[in-house]
Structure 1
Amino acid sequence: MKPNVKLVIALLLIISTICYLNIGVLADNSGGAANVSSSVPDKMKLVAENQYLMLYMDFDTTEIAVKDKRTGAVFYSNPPDRQSDSIANAENKMRLGSQLALSYYNSKGQPGSMDNANDCIKANQFTISEIENGVKVLYDIGIKKIDINSLPKVISKERFESLILSKVEDEEDRQFLLTKYQLVSLNDAKSEEEKQNLINTYVNIKNTDLYVLDKYIYVYEIPAVYRILAEAGYTQEDLIFDNTENEIIAEVVLTPKFIIPIEYTLEGENLIVRIPCSEIHYEREFPLTTVRVLEYFGAAKMSDNGYIFIPDGSGALINLNNPNKVGMSYKAPVYGFDSSIRQKEKVQIAYQAYLPVFGLKKDNSAFFAIIEEGDAMASIGASIGGVLNSYSSVYSEFTVLPWTEVSFGRETEVDKIKVYQKRPYQKDIVIRFAFLHGEKAGYIGMAEYYRNYLIEKGMLGKKIEPKSNIPFNLELIGAIYRHKSILGIPRKVLEPLTTFEQASQIITELSEDGIDNINLKFSGWFNGGIDHVFPTNINIEGKLGGKKGFNKLVDTIKTLDGKFYPDVSFMYMYRVPFLFSIKENSARYLSKDSVKLKNFNIANFQPVRGEEGWYLLSPSKLDYYVSNFINKYKNYGIGNISLRVMGEVLYSDFNERNLVDRQEAKEIVMQQGEKFQRNGINLMVNGCNAYMLPYVDNIVNMPLTDSKFIIADESIPFYQIVVHGFIEYSGEPVNLAGDYIENILKTVETGACLYFTWIHAESSILKDTAYRDLYSVNYKDWYDIAIDLYEKINLALRDVQDQMIIGHEKIGDKVYRTIYENGKEIVVNYGDKPFYTKGIKIDGKSFEVVAEGGK
């Protein structure tokens, strides 16, 4: 994408002609165009076909339709019956016909929006061309009036010949242009009087020969001249320059103009939608910030039955026909918010979208979309019809140019300016659409499809090798810094919460009491405790037992056949070593200062006062420091590590000297995952964004439910259905859950592991510290509960550790059934009253195995 470059195909009449010619080419090569199914409008022409699908396009509106040859189902990019929509006005009916919707700002920082239906299709400002297995449309979005002021009336000989004439390849265009621009030179003056007249008329003629526009040019010739200039690369900025240089008074009104291509191709059972962002052009006065793609693909009418699937947390469904939610909408960035975009307040607490997927089920058919490229720049949105139109839809939107507001002095709108990323996103946007039918047309089918996709792409590895009992995930916290009064003087001291010896004692007791598959995450074990000094070196905490005690703990875990995951933060820099440069190593805001984060107060949504906060390491530095750490860490022979935030946090670095956009940051993080894997180090992460799945063995703090947004009707274990049997996972710690009973039931429903966070010291030691959210962590308070829960859940889940989830459904009010590939069925009752199924009673707030496995 390049600002201030060619404004291709600006002449409306010529564009229309070109469009007609291209349509002819495609129609001639369409082959089966005459055999269009009765379910596809006759005006749509076949543009691609394979064993599974047929791709059609309407050459007047550029909308597409995909017909599944296996079932006859047709999926439209836009509602085919939108003109009869009783809610939408004329403009919104046109918007329903759009494939692209844009957001931008003008030079004054005022927002604007366009779509290709209202601002391109109406004026025939597009071309269609055939590509392999599909079709490409080039949109010229932004209708501009072309008149005499759109052309340079006077231009220097050097600029005319180098900027324009040398780039006109067509000889007829070249000759036509030379008939409209005449070369004027003082050397050609036949008298002093004529020379003086030229000097009086053209202020720059003393310095250079000039080309002058024929003042008798016909109105109908102006668009033809404009087209030749535009194709040669002559821009509005060039026009302003030439007018200024030659003191031409002409009103040149800058108008927003966006050249955006989109490609549709068939690949096996899928439709591939691609936007090559390097081919997007716009003027720098109108920075393009977001592009919304196929907002109404497969849109559902208010009378349709089904739901929208969104990847909020574990997954959520939005019913199509809920009259209580008319006009509601959802929108969330894939992989969470970019931390390098400054947030002054946090108005909601919600799970992020860990997976770049979405879908819509309508009656017996569904589509499922995977964002393959540009996913780190994407947001997923959904809306329920009933206000602007009658249709419910789900879609993806891409931030191609991140921006922020910077204030100078007072916090008023007048004192704010827009600041943009140095360059726009340059790579491709790619969305893969799959089409599901019958019993596969639902969230189970979508999850199965995504699981198979990940396996095929090498993003899900081999199945888990199950042990005799399920895993037990346990986090122990070693040391923290806290304020303490020493001889009446307040000082910040390192406080041991769990020593290495005490950790050995706890896990040994657990093993003796029947828990023998322990995954121990140990936080705060080195470099100054839980908020450790950035790990350029590894200094094991002496107050916890030093290197000797650490090694004994390692030996204990190995003896118990467990796994040890020491926790490390690379991306959050809580404290830094001596002579470590924050300026050189930290990510930057768009305002150019180093990114520094703080926790937010849930009461007022503001950053917590008095908290020091932490800096973010630039993604460009991650490779160096991770490599350095691995070289030291391998000496301990542990083979496992917990990455505190690398699995779920993703951000840009807007440093203009070394810009790393969010998509590039994703690639860098993936390289670190591959590096750990290559060095034989297994990973435990929090949350886990999709791109880290190939490198992860254990996920903690995985959301087991959705964010409970009002628009959502049901929480579903979509994420868990995708990965169960391949990766061990657990939700938030049982002892820190707001409702620990629901946490336990969700653990069973989703096939997760139990997870606890403990310390050996009393919980009261954390009072009035930055860790006050760890309010119930003394292991003795939860030990017996953990033993009891493990025994019960182990009986239910130990024979499905390596089994895929193949079924999940709501079978009663607050009652859900999960089915595994070996035939095992478990029913969870969240209600207060008993529920009966297959002759088995499931008490309220309880679960039961209703069918044993063994297939």
Structure 2
Amino acid sequence: MKNRKLPAAVLACAAVLCVLAAAVLYFSSRGAEAVEASAYMEVTAELEAGSELAALPDSTGGVPGMILAADDAELSLYYNAETTEIAVKDKRTGQIWYSNPEGRNEDTLASGFEKELLSSQLTVLFRDAVGTLESYTNFAQSISSKQFTAESLKNGLRITYTIGDTSAGIDALPRYISQARLEEKVLSKLDASTAKYVATRYYPKEGSPDIMERIDAQVSKPLVLKKMTAAFVLAGYSAEDLAQDNAENGIGGGSGTSKPNFVVPLEYRLEEGSLVVTVPVNQVKESGQYQIRSLELLNMFGAADRLTDGYMLVPDGSGSLIRLNNGKVKEEQYVQRVYGPDPNDNSYRRGQVSQNARMPVFGMKAGDGAWFAVIEKGDAIASIAADISGKKNSYNFIHSSYSLRGEDELELYTGATIQEIQLLSEEIYKGDIQVRYSFLSGDKASYSGMAELYRDKLVAEKALTPLAEEQSIPFYLDMLGAVDKQKSLLGVPYRSEISMTSFRQAALIAGQLKQDGIGRLLMRYTGWSGKGVNHSTPDKLKTESVLGSRSELTALRDQLAQDGGTLFPDVAFQQIYHNDGGFTPSSDAARFVTREEAQLYPYNRALNRMDMTLGGYYLLSPAKLPYYVDSFMDKYAGFGMEGVSLRDLGNVLSSDFRASRVIQRETAKAIVMEQLDRISQDVDQTMVSGGNAYAWPYADHLIHVPESSSGFALTDETVPFYQMVVHGFISYTGAPVNLSDEQDMHTQLLHSIELGSAPYFSWSYEPSSKLKFTHFDSMYATSYLDWYEQAVSMYKEVNEVLSPVQHAQIVNHTRHQEGVVEVQYSNGISIYVNYTGKDVSVQGIAVGAGQYVIEGEPS
């Protein structure tokens, strides 16, 4: 009996183990808890009720050919009932801004599609079932055929466009019709020639010779269809006749094919001296198999002709200007996605060397006036495009477009041949698109005036708050902690962490800086937690043992605080470097449109592609972000830190195209902002890398902010627009001096003074040579001993210049000549910077070669 019981016991134990294993597998496959993404999307469920459009009384003479549709204290909105174009009149100056160029019909350069664009307010780009991309303009496919309605709104109007062919087309003709009815209803009522033409486009149906079948291969041709339709109309063939023939032949109507047509409402409102333009995308309707990829909005608003002087402002990097009519007709147009490319997008995986557009703004100075646009809704799915005259038409123009669906390429391999198929995500963005256009004149009609307008808007919204008073500017210091490196044991390779700067060594450097007069040291410690810089999942928080003990980290924190500085341990939330039990790729990673898990690799500039040898990471699904932030913050509270460095929350914005949970970038932005708010409530100071505009309300310090533009061929000049908006509200700095492409320290000093940017270095206690054969060998110059004296000297000089203005706003930035700039602050101080090798005189002020001059006294 005992021998019989033993196998039974073994089987029972095995069964229990199988159940436990299945349970572990089930719960691990579920991954982290996800939030309900729909709770983060603002959707227009119902449109504002409109009324019959009627002209308002206008005593100003108005705009020829237009009616006054709305009016407020500063602006008048006019509307052309034939072309649906609008015009905005600035009552303060009398200047009129048009949605479409006045003289477009006389443009001899534009032809075909470009002519349509000049008269359009909307362009719809869509794909059919096989992925073919097409574009419709509301002029050619709606206005010209009167397929629109207009109605009044409170202080505005709404125009609803039906864009596309709404006619029955070939389905206006019966696919099947009895021979007797064809003769009776059509042929007998036509002349002989026309009757023969119609009869030869039908032939007896196979198996039913008394039934005539339409020859679609011929009738579908546009000219043939036009003649056939005219013949049936001439014969008096009615809709009732068509319905009867369809019913008798059991097809229920037509060929069953659909045509691309879309219903798009476009709203204009006057609000607080601005024109607010809205597309409530939830009310957009598509037809059949045709899916909208993107919308282009007001391509030609405020377009400037060939005789106008001025420039366009684009948000490339710190800001960039495109001079009107600059003659660069062979260069590609400027196009850039707001907040940078989506890491979940194919273009990101192909890589590009450029600055990101970190602000949802654009504008134009034309003559004595200017207009400035802020994308208030839909900014995370927006792109900015600009081009000059002389290429496709005679106008300079800048506008925004919106990706309503995710797009990717699926590669199919057939032997040595690769075929690319374009895929769109099924789910469309359902939030609003909203752009606010404001108007400037006189001295304010400049990029400085635009920066002031944007800054004032953010201050009014409490997105920017003034800096607290400090005696000195910060000294930003990246301290490189642990990195992983390949080692070998008995010839077997493995990876483990090495220390570049231990906690004690970081304290030694901080103490040395304090002795040399740098007290306000803001130390960003990267690689401080488990597994180094590319750390464990945030919910597995612990210190990296090769750097020292937790008590040594606490001692570093206390030392910095006592000396007037702050420690900012660094963490990445959206880039997951390890599948270490705290992360399950199948459930926690974002998905590409192709449904693959979003696994990416660093971009290798030398290879112009992603490089798998540099170590990969997964993109976290935005739906899982709150879980990891909560888990991290619960553990982080035990460290008692006053600061935290956020590596990617202000720098990376990713969508997720998981079939069961599509999250557009706009929804992802709302989730990220909620987490930034949660962190800023729990930690005294937050340091944000990259500094996308949506992170500004939650950031105390910005690092790696753009200090230049991408230098696109179409652009002409880099401007510090970014700095002009945030200076005096958020402390900021650019890239580390010792890792910059510009290695002339004096040039970097001048640049720091011009931009109002605090010095920033990236150091390690150990020599940089230890980084060879790691994923971090690009950090080739981190040894602090090589930079220490230069850094201290640079900080002291920059601090002397910038500390009196660190709480002031930059009210004007002027480039007097190439290499000579003037920066004016709101407290009365002006700084002149001369990058050239020659002495110059600016407004009677002498500035030596490679020098700067400070004028004025702080008020």
Short-chain TM bin: 0.7 to 0.9
Q: 1:226 and 1:769 mapped to 2: Cα distance? A: 78
- Note the C-alpha offset of 1:201: 8.8
2:115 to 85, 93, 99: 93
Q: 1:222 and 1:524 mapped to 2: Cα distance? A: 79
- Note the C-alpha offset of 1:49: 0.4
Residue 376 of structure 2 corresponds to residue 354 of structure 1 = no
Q: How does 1:25-104 map to 2 (within 5 A)?
A: 25-27=52-54, 30-33=55-58, 35-37=60-62, 40-41=63-64, 43-89=65-111, 91-104=113-126
Structure 1, 480-489 or 284-293: larger mean CA deviation: 480-489
In the other structure, the counterpart of 2:152 is: 130
In the other structure, the counterpart of 1:428 is: 432
Q: Look up the SS of the partner of 1:691 in the other structure.
A: helix
Q: How does 1:357-436 map to 2 (within 5 A)?
A: 357-410=361-414, 415-436=419-440
In the other structure, the counterpart of 1:178 is: none
Deviations 1:188-216, CA, capped at 9 Å, x for gaps? xxxxxxxxxx9x999xxxxxxxxxxxxx9
Q: How does 1:452-531 map to 2 (within 5 A)?
A: 452-461=456-465, 463-531=466-534
In the other structure, the counterpart of 2:757 is: 752
- Note the C-alpha offset of 1:786: 0.5
- Note the C-alpha offset of 1:756: 0.3
In the other structure, the counterpart of 1:110 is: 132
In the other structure, the counterpart of 2:27 is: none
- Note the C-alpha offset of 1:263: 0.4
In the other structure, the counterpart of 1:585 is: 588
Q: 1:504 and 1:62 mapped to 2: Cα distance? A: 67
In the other structure, the counterpart of 1:739 is: 742
- For normalisation by structure 1, the TM-score amounts to 0.85
In the other structure, the counterpart of 2:600 is: 597
Q: 2:416 and 2:346 mapped to 1: Cα distance? A: 17
- Note the C-alpha offset of 1:245: 9.3
In the other structure, the counterpart of 1:606 is: 609
- Note the C-alpha offset of 1:374: 0.5
Q: 2:851 and 2:624 mapped to 1: Cα distance? A: 49
**Would the aligned equivalents of 1:77 and 1:297 in 2 still touch at CA under 8 Å?**
yes
Residue 257 of structure 2 corresponds to residue 257 of structure 1 = no
- Note the C-alpha offset of 1:763: 0.9
Q: 1:223 and 1:611 mapped to 2: Cα distance? A: 70
Q: Look up the SS of the partner of 1:797 in the other structure.
A: helix
Q: 1:32 and 1:444 mapped to 2: Cα distance? A: 37
**Would the aligned equivalents of 1:686 and 1:699 in 2 still touch at CA under 8 Å?**
yes
- Note the C-alpha offset of 1:798: 0.8
**Would the aligned equivalents of 1:151 and 1:226 in 2 still touch at CA under 8 Å?**
no
- Note the C-alpha offset of 1:250: 4.7
In the other structure, the counterpart of 1:686 is: 689
Residue 454 of structure 2 corresponds to residue 450 of structure 1 = yes
**Would the aligned equivalents of 2:816 and 2:842 in 1 still touch at CA under 8 Å?**
no
Q: 2:755 and 2:266 mapped to 1: Cα distance? A: 39
- Note the C-alpha offset of 1:671: 0.1
RMSD over equivalenced CA pairs, Å: 2.8
Cα distance change on mapping 1:145 and 1:765 into 2, 3 Å = same
In the other structure, the counterpart of 2:14 is: none
2:710 to 686, 707, 710: 707
Residue 630 of structure 2 corresponds to residue 627 of structure 1 = yes
- Note the C-alpha offset of 1:607: 1.8
- Note the C-alpha offset of 1:528: 1.2
What amino acid sits opposite 2:698 in the alignment? Y
- Note the C-alpha offset of 1:847: 2.4
Structure 1, 750-759 or 804-813: larger mean CA deviation: 804-813
- Note the C-alpha offset of 1:561: 1.1
Residue 539 of structure 2 corresponds to residue 536 of structure 1 = yes
What amino acid sits opposite 1:582 in the alignment? P
Q: 2:173 and 2:451 mapped to 1: Cα distance? A: 56
Q: 2:415 and 2:691 mapped to 1: Cα distance? A: 37
Cα distance change on mapping 1:201 and 1:225 into 2, 3 Å = closer
Gaps of 5+ in 2: 1-49, 177-207, 213-230
Q: 2:722 and 2:415 mapped to 1: Cα distance? A: 42
Q: How does 1:652-663 map to 2 (within 5 A)?
A: 652-663=655-666
Q: How does 1:791-810 map to 2 (within 5 A)?
A: 791-810=796-815
Cα distance change on mapping 1:437 and 1:531 into 2, 3 Å = same
Q: 1:245 and 1:547 mapped to 2: Cα distance? A: 83
In the other structure, the counterpart of 2:672 is: 669
Q: 1:616 and 1:127 mapped to 2: Cα distance? A: 44
In the other structure, the counterpart of 1:312 is: 316
- Note the C-alpha offset of 1:137: 0.6
Q: 1:613 and 1:308 mapped to 2: Cα distance? A: 39
- Note the C-alpha offset of 1:144: 4.2
- Note the C-alpha offset of 1:345: 5.4
Q: Look up the SS of the partner of 1:744 in the other structure.
A: helix
1:777 to 767, 782, 795: 782
**Would the aligned equivalents of 1:422 and 1:654 in 2 still touch at CA under 8 Å?**
no
In the other structure, the counterpart of 2:26 is: none
Deviations 1:483-512, CA, capped at 9 Å, x for gaps? 124454433121000011110110111111
Q: 2:248 and 2:430 mapped to 1: Cα distance? A: 33
Q: 1:223 and 1:540 mapped to 2: Cα distance? A: 81
**Would the aligned equivalents of 1:327 and 1:383 in 2 still touch at CA under 8 Å?**
no
- Note the C-alpha offset of 1:54: 0.4
- Note the C-alpha offset of 1:327: 6.2
Q: Look up the SS of the partner of 2:791 in the other structure.
A: helix
- Note the C-alpha offset of 1:403: 1.5
**Would the aligned equivalents of 1:503 and 1:553 in 2 still touch at CA under 8 Å?**
yes
Q: How does 1:550-565 map to 2 (within 5 A)?
A: 550-565=553-568
Q: 2:604 and 2:236 mapped to 1: Cα distance? A: 65
- Note the C-alpha offset of 1:628: 1.5
What amino acid sits opposite 1:66 in the alignment? V
Q: 2:754 and 2:170 mapped to 1: Cα distance? A: 70
**Would the aligned equivalents of 1:676 and 1:682 in 2 still touch at CA under 8 Å?**
no
Residue 549 of structure 2 corresponds to residue 546 of structure 1 = yes
State the identity %.
35
Cα distance change on mapping 1:220 and 1:385 into 2, 3 Å = farther
Q: 1:579 and 1:732 mapped to 2: Cα distance? A: 32
Q: 1:396 and 1:353 mapped to 2: Cα distance? A: 13
What amino acid sits opposite 2:429 in the alignment? Y
Q: How many pairs were matched up?
A: 760
Q: 2:342 and 2:237 mapped to 1: Cα distance? A: 47
Q: Look up the SS of the partner of 2:790 in the other structure.
A: helix
**Would the aligned equivalents of 2:351 and 2:603 in 1 still touch at CA under 8 Å?**
no
**Would the aligned equivalents of 1:344 and 1:606 in 2 still touch at CA under 8 Å?**
no
Q: Look up the SS of the partner of 2:538 in the other structure.
A: coil
Q: Look up the SS of the partner of 1:429 in the other structure.
A: strand
- Note the C-alpha offset of 1:390: 0.4
Residue 572 of structure 2 corresponds to residue 569 of structure 1 = yes
- Note the C-alpha offset of 1:835: 2.3
- For normalisation by structure 2, the TM-score amounts to 0.84
1:834 to 815, 839, 856: 839
- Note the C-alpha offset of 1:834: 2.4
What amino acid sits opposite 2:53 in the alignment? L
Gaps of 5+ in 1: 1-21, 155-197, 203-215, 230-238
Cα distance change on mapping 1:411 and 1:49 into 2, 3 Å = farther
Q: Look up the SS of the partner of 1:769 in the other structure.
A: coil
**Would the aligned equivalents of 2:280 and 2:432 in 1 still touch at CA under 8 Å?**
yes
**Would the aligned equivalents of 1:326 and 1:385 in 2 still touch at CA under 8 Å?**
no
Q: Look up the SS of the partner of 2:630 in the other structure.
A: helix
Residue 342 of structure 2 corresponds to residue 338 of structure 1 = yes
Q: How does 1:759-770 map to 2 (within 5 A)?
A: 759-770=764-775
Q: Look up the SS of the partner of 2:609 in the other structure.
A: coil
- Note the C-alpha offset of 1:143: 2.7
Deviations 1:458-494, CA, capped at 9 Å, x for gaps? 2112x11232211100000110011124454433121
**Would the aligned equivalents of 1:152 and 1:243 in 2 still touch at CA under 8 Å?**
no
